[in-house]
Structure 1
């Protein structure tokens, strides 16, 4: 949809598309509340500012909608389709998938949450390198990285909702 359609679509019809970008009701409500937007930059600014203000509980909620890196998302939902596309760099090499699975397990044991990265455009090697590096972060540093990765993913997805 273009920006004009985004501005005029009833909120109840637009809400699922926004939740697919970031499943945090306060973020969805903030983006909807500021309509109409004069341009994409204004929309992006509101979305970005609200994302930067998410608290830890909201980040945790949003993470629940994201599959593990290397897992093949199931279903035909918008989120699953986007995840498959975003993770296209993982490839099908069984050794890489095994390394990612093991890294995900270690990450989840270490931090108690899914490893999240904006995977669009990254190769399997880059994903593995980032995973290995982030396993060495302290909790505070990693929480900030997760928040930033979630922000990047949400803004990327929002650009897919409002294309044109």
Structure 2
């Protein structure tokens, strides 16, 4: 691809609205005094990558809050350990914390895992082993009984 072609394609990509950056800046400003500088920079990089994915401002704020929660958790329990040195066991411990202590829905836990995966791949440039951190099952295995269908049919026909 020539530089002219690249520039013509790049210019056609709209910049994210300024509102996103104001919202994110305010969010980071409120959180910055709680995090060490290195982790704050990691979070800024993560938000920068999210802004290029054409996500809604609320989605970016939600995803960045998930990463903030993770960083705060690591700083509180693993105080001086860099994020790049966190082991798979420690990551699994965080997922257990989300499931058992915070009692999050499996789908929400999966979004946390996806954000951790993106963070480790794109910010820390660390390979992500999907067999070390498994996505949570989100389907229910319960089946409806015949009596449930009869009640539903009666409710719909009456």
- TM-score (norm. length: structure 1): 0.30
Higher relative contact order (CA closer than 8 Å, sequence separation 6+): 1
